[in-house]
Structure 1
Amino acid sequence: MAGNSDPLTPRAKIAVTAGKAVAAASRAAGRGSGSVIGGRVALKLDPDLLARLAQHLDVVLVSATNGKTTTTRLIAEALGAAGPVVSNALGANMPAGITSALAGGSEARYAVIEVDEKYLAGVARDTDPKCIALLNLSRDQLDRAAETRMLAENWREGLAGSKAVVVANADDPLVVWAASSSANVIWVAAGQMWKDDAWSCPSCGGVMQRPGDDWFCGDCGFRRPSPSWALSGDHVLDPHGSAWPIHLQLPGRANKANAASSAAVAAVFGVPPQVALERMYQVQAVAGRYDVVQFMQRDLRLLLAKNPAGWLETFSLIDPPPTPVILSVNARGADGTDTSWLWDVDYTRLTGHPIFVIGDRKLDLAVRLEVANQSFQVCESVDQAVQMAPPGRIEVIANYTAFQDLRRRVGN
């Protein structure tokens, strides 16, 4: 524990202090939380700082294409039953942001850390985690993210030899391939709605067979492992076969799946499913996602969807037609500048909804909706879209920087 002995060298202490000062200056200048720039400065001064800060903590790493931020929040809430937790709750998930988060948690016992998929192997090396949760892998940020099978390979190599307990989704073949190099894996049947990145076998390249919820490769025999935890409707089934009810304020099946994985992680640290799931009920919104805000006398629900898998999940939880929907897509650095992924999203699921299109790449999205035979209106701003929308609550779906823009505009 932090109180027993101070793990930080004088150099590390200077690095932490400098990082906090830079972060505070960045916040004062109105440039965001400052966690990334603060972490960068601290790591420059002490390249081993992340490892030093993690020394006295029981670390959980969470990585995936979708659901990282929410699952990190749910696990942090659950582990709070066992002791103080530090977490990168705002989603700064590369080494600089993670270093910043840990620097602020000197009294913590546990660290629950969301990690960008590309950085998982390196962060795992530095932080010596007790547990790693792997949820899914699908295409994302096409201009710079490695192809999903390469990412799975990277995870597989990075996790080989790790002492961590790996909690992994048995329904995603890429995740199973990645986790199979680990000595200690707990499999969770969390489901996989988006299957378009998992038709070829990650082991041999053969065609994946998918009867019902099962999957296997007819060529090499690589197959779905038997899960010890499972999401079943509104319950989590634990390894003893007991069913624990999931009560969340967060909507949708994907969040129930996140809760199932989170309960399995909490159990690794001795927190029983009932306690873990009860604590998860406290989470109402995650970094603005799922928040309902009042704007121009209307209720807007803010939903984040960054890639085809995320849009598919989001469509499953919006209110039925004729609920108006505002869609906003940007293609800035943090989003990935290639918007060709829009063609992988099934926009026919929005049939019957009045649709309003905004964002930097509204015309890219308009062409896609035109081809999907949807009726829509292109607007200059969220203000104009809200003015034109018919009565009732409005669902607003945006990708990463578009979501941040919306939060700033609607005062969330």
Structure 2
Amino acid sequence: MPLRAKVASSVSRTAAALSRAAGRGDGSVIGGWIGLKIDPDLLAHLAAGRAIALISGTNGKTTTTRLTSAAVGVLGPVATNSFGANMPTGHTSALAKAGSTPYAVLEVDEHYLAQVLEATEPKVVALLNLSRDQLDRAKEVSMMAQLWRAALVRHPSIRVVANADDPMVVWAVTPPTHPGGQVVAGPSVTWFSAGQRWQDDSWVCPECGSPIARAEDQWWCSGCPLQRPTPHWVVEDDGVVDPYGNWHKITLQLPGRVNLGNAATALAVAAEFGVRPTDAVGRLGTVASIAGRYAQVVRDGRNIRLLLAKNPASWLEAFDMADHAPTLLSINARDPDGLDTSWLYDVDFAPLRGRQVLITGDRAYDLAVRLDVNGVPFRHVHTFTDAIAATPPGRLEVIANYTAFQDIRAELDRVN
């Protein structure tokens, strides 16, 4: 690297270490921020010479990145932003901290994908899904798909691993057609199928505006040729079928069928690096918790499991993961969460009927109104400690959005 980049990288590592030592966080943002101030091209310098995979989408990025890192780790050391700092500052900090690893797997916020593509020139990009998120400040879903499409057209040599079940992702990966009928060159694509439980953001074709029709696991546009492509990797029962028709049993410590889909994506990305599924599947089972997500803690006779849910699609998956047990819901509306809680009305809370439900958080009353509309009985508690006292010994499921999740993690860390 140029001398300036070497100095910036060294200062980045030092700043991150000081942040951790001072208890001000893991340093995954401040280190990169300072490094980029010294050398604006530091991310590109740190990425040079590495085989890189980028993982992007609205939901599942952090988990899929962790699983992919484990799978690619068959080949050697892997740099990754394992704490979820998924913007260029986080990528810079992660690569600086890792040193000269041959491989990197980076989670990328969907809004920053085009910028990170330019800086890192990755070997492969995995596109998971697109759905509504943080309505007060995030881009509308079809606009996000347009930005992805424009970015991929500028990088036709990149290999893409994409979700065949999401019409928005399929359209974003499909090269546009010029008015004269000439198709623009696009990237090579490996398709995976993991199902799409949340479909409320893909009823209308992004190409022509006609309704999207569905039957079983297929979908197609009723007005143009856009349709579900044939997937190469498919979740089947409790395993994954690879492009050669071989079935691989997946044994995960992570709950829910959605994580089988994340595992399929990880295997597909690792295969682009030359990793055989038979070598990678065992490593997927070593992943137990990702930045506190899915973590289980025992306190006062309660086995507490933490699930992060930030938007309608992820709440739907969280209900699928949670056991039929007392459940605490916590909602905040601070800056990292998005200030608009109207998305609660897009979530069907009916699966919670019949279990003990408690609510807390800064916006617990918004949640109370929503649950009342859905006919779900609940009890409001002011603190996490009150929630524990209000539930019997045994399993306690906790589902929370970003800052509410971090508040509860901090409370558990203080006690344990």
Output the TM-score relative to the length of structure 1. Answer: 0.96
Alignment of 1:131-210 (within 5 A): 131-162=124-155, 163-181=157-175, 182-210=186-214
Equivalent of residue 35 in structure 1, options 9, 28, 31: 28
Q: CA deviation at 1:40?
A: 0.9
| In structure 1, distance between residues paired with 2:28 and 2:305 | 27
Report deviation, 1:380: 0.6
Residue in 2 aligned with 1:3?
A: none
Work out the CA distance in 2 between the residues paired with 1:295 and 1:154: 46
2:294 aligns to what SS in structure 1? coil
Question: Residues of 1 paired with 2:340 and 2:259: CA distance?
Answer: 28
1:299 to 276, 300, 303: 303
Could you tell me which residue of structure 1 aligns to residue 342 of structure 2? 340
How far residue 24 of structure 1 moved from its aligned partner, in angstroms, is: 2.6
Q: In structure 1, give the amino acid aligned to 2:247.
A: A
Distance in 2 (alpha carbons) for counterparts of 1:240 and 1:201? 31
Structure 1 counterpart of 2:78, from 85, 100, 111: 85
Partner of 1:231: 235
User: What's the CA shift string for 1:138-172, capped at 9, x where partnerless?
Assistant: 11111111001100110000011312110000000
Partner amino acid, structure 2, of 1:372:
N
Equivalence map 1:277-288=2 (5 Å): 277-288=281-292
CA contact (8 A) 2:300 2:393 kept: no
Q: Is the 8 A contact 2:16 2:28 kept in 1?
A: yes
Deviation at 1:28, TM superposition (A): 3.0
1:366 corresponds to 2:368: yes
Letter in 2 for 1:335: D
Report the 3-state secondary structure (helix = DSSP H, G, I; strand = E; otherwise coil) of the residue aligned with 2:252: coil
Match of 1:315 among 313, 316, 319: 319
SS for the counterpart of 1:112 is strand
Structure 1 moving runs of 4+ over 6 Å: none
The separation in 2 between residues aligned to 1:154 and 1:107, in whole angstroms, is 31
Partner deviation per Cα, 1:7-33 (whole Å, 9 max, x = no partner): x11111111122223223322332211
TM-score normalised by the chain length of structure 2: 0.95
> Equivalent residue for 1:267?
271
1:73 to 52, 66, 69: 66
Contact 2:28 2:83 survives alignment (8 Å): no
Distance 2:39 2:108 in 1: 20
Find the counterpart in structure 2 of residue 217 from structure 1. Answer: 221
1:251 partnered with 2:245? no
Cα shift at 1:107: 3.0
Q: Any conservation in 1 of the 2:193–2:231 contact (CA below 8 Å)?
A: yes
2:131 aligned with 1:127, yes or no? no
- In structure 2, C-alpha distance between the alignment counterparts of 1:389 and 1:204, rounded to whole Å: 51
CA distance in 2, matches of 1:405, 1:285: 17
The answer (yes or no) to whether the contact 1:39–1:98 under 8 Å persists in 2 is: yes
Q: CA deviation at 1:319?
A: 1.1
Residue ranges of structure 2 left out of the alignment (5+ in a row):
176-185
Distance 1:273 1:364 in 2: 45
AA paired with 1:56? Answer: G
Q: Please tell me the residue identity of whatever aligns with 1:378.
A: H
Q: 2:95 aligns with which of 77, 102, 110?
A: 102
Q: More deviation in 276-285 or 294-303?
A: 294-303
Q: Is the 8 A contact 1:61 1:131 kept in 2?
A: yes
- Report whether the alignment pairs 1:351 with 2:344: no
CA contact (8 A) 1:71 1:262 kept: yes
Q: CA deviation at 1:258?
A: 0.4
Contact 1:39–1:97 (Cα < 8 Å) also in 2:
yes
Q: Provide the secondary structure at the position in 2 that maps to 1:176.
A: helix
Q: Are the aligned partners of 2:238 and 2:249 in contact in 1 as well (CA < 8 Å)? A: yes
Q: Work out whether residues 302 and 392 of structure 2, in 8 Å CA contact, stay in contact via their aligned partners in 1.
A: no
Aligned equivalents of 1:233, 1:140: Cα separation in 2? 30
Q: State the SS of the aligned residue for 1:334.
A: helix
User: Deviations 1:63-87 (Å, cap 9, x if unpaired)?
Assistant: 0111100000001000110111000
Q: Residue type matched to 1:398 in 2?
A: A
**1:362-406 deviations in Å (ceiling 9; x for gaps):** 111111111111111111101001101133210000111111111
Separation in 1, partners of 2:162, 2:140: 20
Tell me how far apart the structure 2 counterparts of residues 392 and 355 of structure 1 sit (CA, whole Å).
15
Q: Cα deviation per residue 1:158-187 (whole Å; 9 max; x = unaligned)?
A: 011312110000000001111123320001
What code does the residue aligned with 1:177 have? W
Q: How many residues align?
A: 403
Q: Report the Cα offset of residue 103 of structure 1.
A: 0.5
Aligned to 1:4: none
After superposition, give the CA deviation of every residue in 1:300-341 in whole Å (9 maximum; x if it has no partner). 011111110001011012112xx1000011111111111111
Would you say the 8 A contact 1:84–1:107 is kept in 2?
Answer: no
SS of 2:386's equivalent? helix
| Residues 170 and 226 in structure 1, CA contact (< 8 A), matched pair in contact too | yes
- Return the alpha-carbon distance in structure 1 between the equivalents of residues 368 and 219 of structure 2: 36
Check whether the contact 2:301–2:393 (CA below 8 A) recurs between aligned residues: no
Alpha-carbon deviations, 1:239-275, whole Å to 9, x = none? Answer: 1111111111111100000001111111111111111
Distance (Å, rounded) in 2 between the aligned partners of 1:14 and 1:107: 15
Q: Which consecutive residues of structure 1, in runs of 5 or more, have no partner in the other structure? A: 1-7
Match of 1:386 in 2: 388
Query: Secondary structure of the equivalent of 2:196?
Result: coil
Kindly indicate whether the alpha-carbon contact (under 8 Å) linking 1:161 and 1:183 is maintained by their aligned counterparts in 2: no
